Amino acid sequence: MLRWAEVYLNRLLSNYRVIKKLSGKKKIFAVVKANAYGHGSVPVAKFLEENTDVHGFAVATYEEGAELREAGIKREILVMASMLPEGIHLLKDYSLTPVVYDFEELSLIRELSLPFHVKVDTGMGRLGFLERDWDRLLSELYNLPVAGVMSHFSSADSDEEFTRYQFLKFKEFVEKLKKFKPDVAVHVDNSAAIPKKFDSLLTHCRVGLALYGSKPYRGYEAELLQVMEVKAKVISVKELPPDFPISYSKTYRTKNKEKVAVIAFGYADGLLRSLSNRGSVLINGKRCPIRGRICMDMTVVSVEGVPVKKGDTAVVSGKEITFDEIAELAGTIPYEVMCDISPRVKRIYRYEEV
């Protein structure tokens, strides 16, 4: 096996317990869209359903929800970012809960007479009913089977003032809705917002990033464990002469003789090309800097002074080189780094007793 990702379910469980304590009485929707941020939606959901009190799972599409049901998942599955015409048959056949975000969707759900969550836009500018439509929306919801109400924080990781503004706007709508739907589920918290304690009226929270062990911002009020470790084999080791170019476009040249290793991991596997000449991997406990452009299937690293041989293992991401560190270096977010780990990187599921 040339490239693989080890998913540690004991760390997932530890993160869940930390988040559960932090979230207080709120029930948890585990966000498992996009293949559980690359961790494997079915194994993650199965493990959480069997080992925790998770309320349900949040996905983006009806197909993702159907996949979970086919795998035997029983708890609620919330479909957050699709269109009803795309999934009406799946919605019925697999008992999925749709999120309704405009009047066209609302008309369709009225015909189906199935429970749903309604989404209001309090400042994300994406899906959801705008405030100018709330009076009409409330009147139309009166006789419909609304099971939940939600919104989405845009900047809980960076702008607490605006997040509080969004929460207060959301609260306005919820208070009106609860006058005739008192038992509706209420959720807006994401991983970044949970420590802010927006507890008034909230019954549930939606947790993704923190569940997989990344912190939404510096100083996050929880100790989390990165769930995934990404690894690859060293497939070549050699010494290059001085002034020798490495990889496409010759963006790196050796100054002196330099020992290099080729690892079987490239941008097709999820190693961002923007890390060329900037990132590093871990081989036998030593950081080895990337030399030259990252290729589709391979990456060259310097192993000067490092005892390494063909067949050794390189750690692309793990405890020492985290997704958070990689994201910061690449100028992106850990969500993207996780999701970019491609399907050809085999997932191996482990549980370590601590």
Residues placed in the known binding site = 126, 296
Secondary structure of the chain: what % helix, strand, coil (to 5)? 35, 25, 45
Note whether 137 and 166 are within 8 A (CB).
no
Average pLDDT over residues 136-146: 97
Mapped onto helix, strand or coil, the DSSP state of residue 344 is coil
Q: What percent of the chain has pLDDT over 90?
A: 94
Determine the angle formed by the axes of helices 160-177 and 134-141, rounding to 10 degrees. Answer: 40
248 among known catalytic residues: yes
What is the structure's pLDDT at 198? 81
Joined together, the tokens standing for residue 172 give: 């306005």
State yes or no: pLDDT of 353 exceeds 90: no
What is the structure's pLDDT at 315? 98
* Mean model confidence pLDDT for the chain: 96
Among candidate residues 142, 165, 217, 248, the one labeled active-site is 248
Among candidate residues 33, 119, 171, 215, the one labeled active-site is 33
Count of Cβ atoms closer than 10 Å to residue 147 Cβ: 18
Residues placed in the known binding site for substrate = 126, 296
Count of Cβ atoms closer than 10 Å to residue 175 Cβ: 11
State yes or no: pLDDT of 294 exceeds 90: yes
33 among known catalytic residues: yes
State yes or no: pLDDT of 11 exceeds 90: yes
What is the structure's pLDDT at 333? 95
- For the chain, list the domains and their CATH numbers: 8-211 (3.20.20.10), 228-350 (2.40.37.10)
Q: How do residues 15-24 score in pLDDT, each as one tens digit? A: 999 999 999 9
Note whether 307 and 284 are within 8 A (CB).
yes
Q: How do residues 97-123 score in pLDDT, each as one tens digit? A: 999 999 999 999 999 989 999 999 999
